[in-house]
Amino acid sequence: MKRKLVMIGNGMAGVRCIEEILKRNKETFEITIIGDEPYPNYNRIMLSHVLQGKTEVSEINMNDWEWYQENEITLFTGEKVTEIKTEDKKMKTDKDRVIPYDELIIATGSSAFILPVPGSELEGVIGFRNIQDTEFMIDTSKRYKKAAVIGGGLLGLEAARGLMDRGMQVQVVHLMPRLMEQQLDNPAAKMLKKDLEAQGMEFLMEKQTAEIYGGERVEGITFSDGSSIECDLVVMAVGIRPNVVLAKQAGLNVNRGVVVNDQMQTSVPSIYAIGECAEHNGITYGLVAPLYEQGIELAKYLTGENTAGYHGSILSTQLKVAGCDLFSGGKIEEDENTDAIIVQDQFSGVYKKVLVSDNKVVGVVLYGDASDGTRLFSMLKKETDISDFTSAAVLQKAGEDASEEMIAEMSPDETVCGCNGVTKGTIVQAILEQNLKSFEEVKTCTKAGASCGKCKGVVEGILSNTLGDSFDPAAVKTGMCGCTMLTRDEVVAEIKEKGLQSPKEVRNVLGFANEEGCHVCRPALNYYMRMIRPGEYEDDKASRLVNERMNGNIQNNGTFSVVPRMYGGTTTGDDLIRLGEVANKYNVPLVKITGASRVGLYGVKKEDVPQVWEDLGMRSGYAYSKSLRNVKSCVGAQFCRFGTQDSLGLGIRLEKELEMVDTPHKMKIGVSGCPRNCAEALTKDFGVVCVENGFQLYFGGNGGTEVRECDSFTTVKTEEEVITMATAFMQYYRETGIYNERTAPWVDRIGAENIKLVLLNEKQNTALIERFHHAKGTYEEAWSSTLKNRKEKELYEIVKK
């Protein structure tokens, strides 16, 4: 019978421990995880990249929801443990849930330390520890312009850079005379400050905060010297405080953190602690590498593997700020027992210092060029005797390539990628077993270099060392996403050839690095499966983007737009009345005629969106989807004196014929009633220009940031031929387009002449249309099955006619 293993905390250190346990023996434990944040496990150290706009929150997930399910882990999110009963081996949560355990891991992490000064409770004063903090800062940057960051350490500078990238004026307030005083000596700190000032960051050094003032919201900071600054946001980055209240109440031995031994065991034998909340030999750690080391050692112990235990970590630091390349490890200042090797190039902005004691490296400070960081830090940790090295080029062995030498001598368990805890042994094993040839392939397979990317040089060195002469540093192959080196065409071919039935099967059979996929491949595979197997494959709504799941476009404040279908921009008095009633009922702040000639409701609260659609009883305009968005048309010959054909009627027919079916990206069609082109048909994905003797057809246009005029296709005589050609065009785009690729780059990639050859071939044209109608039938069937009331069903029948 499996023992019950419960972990309090769903962060990086704890989940890494669980991963290592599962890797060693999946049958040992029945695992439960309780996390107080409403998210799966994510990479906290990448929050600065989210704040800086380099990545999205969805991209920093380390284990998605499916990972917990597939590993049979019970996960409770948004829930806090309120009590641990050590005698009964049970715990209680704030939702009155009682959870028994055999072994318990406390991985509660830490909280941002908030200075206990007057005004620290005001709105707009925040720490920088989690997704909620990050989203608050991003939201604040949209409404306010002045920010102050208290703390000139690693986290404070990353926060300041992110807020600047979001358009805020930022002042960094620091108590000490130099930045990052724990990691940088004076020359390196001066260079850092100079570079950041050149980027527009402002500094107030040797300033002690006395008060944060304001009404309900922060308005400024007053310092102990009497000076003050105005600000709309205050970010505290002055340190962290281990979350130990729960452990202390349970009677565990607690100092600054929860006290543990080398096996990460607390004063109660069945309870363990790891991560920022744990204190080992009087030290608490806040960087990811030592936390991963703790998790690995605890996993070994819990699964019965022989282990010497955890014996502490030597720390190193890198800064994730554009234009500032630095590395620090071990000691940073000379003393009577150390000598310093210093290389400084003021012209190039490069500073390198290595501290040596008894012929061993004991400290490293690099600024401007941190490429030697991993190599020198490896020498520091291994206590390498440097007697045979010359200091002229910062410790390269005389007559040899020291980088190759050091990589060859690195032990398999040595960490190469600190961000993701990837060792040299893991990389070498992946290279040999999966025939990896490039850095990109290693990154995809192992996650080494997938975060900050500063270990790329070492990874390439390991590739070179492992492959020898067969390593080509220029070898690059771009896969469809970071989970695989297979291209879109290769993935689609494998799905057809192997008869794969689901995205999960695709990822497993084709060896995707991430079994759960990523934000790029999940929606793409869902699209490809539905395109290849219409009617057989059931659409996975969870893999769709948030706009498609909500049937509306998310706005910059988190609300949504609701845009009903209005064929050809036409509507009725009853529909307009209903729109007005719904807008008033839900206090919709903006009702607007859209660029696609429809009425849009903007600012609908997320929780109201489903009910708004139900109250409207109208078809969606698909203004959010990767499908046909709309057909823009002029009034044509019905009313316009220049009109040559019924462009309005044709536009409505096209919209009804082609709507609903997914495409690789959004599509827009234009139908102009004469060559004056009022419907802008020549910059649409598919364009129709009505002329006296028929209809001129075009494709591949784009009116966006990169304008592309359509390629001329052909001229046809009847509306039926227009619909035939548009349908075949759409299906060919569906079958050959890369997910997220508009028709303009698709035409450039496939070739306009090649597309014409296919569409003008009667046999191929007919086959494309048949496949489209089969797919459309499955979409209509799925949509019809969701209709909830008689009114909707009646509307559907009217639309079909």
Which whole-number Å values give the CA distances from 684 to 151, 247, 701, 734, 762, in the listed order?
A: 52, 63, 5, 17, 25
Contact 37, 65 (CB under 8 A): no
What pLDDT, in 10s, does the model give residues 720-741? 999 999 999 999 999 999 988 8
Higher pLDDT pick, 418 / 233:
233
Structure tokens at 94: 């704030």
Rounded mean pLDDT of the chain? Answer: 86
CATH of residue 285: 3.50.50.60
Do 633 and 725 lie in a common domain? yes
What's the pLDDT at 152? 93
- Evaluate whether residue 72 is within a structural domain: yes
* Number of Cα atoms under 13 Å in the Cβ half of residue 449: 21
CA 466 to chain centre: 31
CATH of residue 436: 1.10.10.1100
pTM assigned to the model: 0.59
Do 521 and 668 lie in a common domain? no
Q: What is the mean pLDDT of residues 351-378?
A: 87
- Evaluate whether residue 346 is within a structural domain: yes
**Residue-level length of the chain:** 801
Residue 504: CB atoms within 10 A of its CB come to 17
Contact 619, 795 (CB under 8 A): yes
Judged against a pLDDT cut of 80, whether residue 7 lies above it is answered with: yes
Contact 217, 230 (CB under 8 A): no
Three-state DSSP class for residue 553: coil
d(CA 395, CA 111): 40
H helix or E strand, kind and range, residue 387: none
Judged against a pLDDT cut of 80, whether residue 397 lies above it is answered with: no
Do 539 and 558 lie in a common domain? no
Do 215 and 293 lie in a common domain? no
- Evaluate whether residue 192 is within a structural domain: yes
678 is in an annotated binding site: yes
Q: What is the mean pLDDT of residues 110-133?
A: 94
- Evaluate whether residue 176 is within a structural domain: yes
Q: How many domains does the chain have?
A: 7
CATH of residue 718: 3.30.413.10
Do 231 and 274 lie in a common domain? no
634 is in an annotated binding site: yes
d(CA 12, CA 4): 21
What's the pLDDT at 227? 95
* Number of Cα atoms under 13 Å in the Cβ half of residue 127: 13
Do 251 and 295 lie in a common domain? yes
483 is in an annotated binding site: no
Contact 203, 153 (CB under 8 A): no
Do 159 and 288 lie in a common domain? no
d(CA 10, CA 43): 11
Q: Which residue among 470, 497, 516 closes a domain? A: 470
Strands (DSSP E) found in 179-315: 202-205, 209-214, 218-223, 228-230, 233-236, 240-242, 258-260, 271-273, 278-280
Do 595 and 528 lie in a common domain? no
417 is in an annotated binding site: no
What's the pLDDT at 387? 78
% of the chain residues with pLDDT over 70: 92
Do 680 and 781 lie in a common domain? yes
Do 709 and 762 lie in a common domain? yes
Q: Which residue among 544, 563, 579 closes a domain? A: 544
Q: Which residue among 409, 444, 461 closes a domain? A: 409
d(CA 290, CA 260): 14
Query: What range defines the domain where residue 601 resides?
Result: 547-616
- Evaluate whether residue 800 is within a structural domain: no
Alpha-carbon torsion 485, 489, 492, 493, what sign? Answer: negative
What pLDDT, in 10s, does the model give residues 503-514? 888 988 888 877
- pLDDT class for 476, splitting at 50, 70, 90? low
What pLDDT, in 10s, does the model give residues 318-329? 775 656 778 898
Judged against a pLDDT cut of 90, whether residue 393 lies above it is answered with: no
- Evaluate whether residue 795 is within a structural domain: no
- Evaluate whether residue 692 is within a structural domain: yes
Q: Of 216, 226, 229, 76, nearest to 149 (Cα)? A: 229
Higher pLDDT pick, 60 / 758:
758
Do 81 and 101 lie in a common domain? yes
- Evaluate whether residue 320 is within a structural domain: no
Structure tokens at 257: 């953190």
Do 648 and 752 lie in a common domain? yes
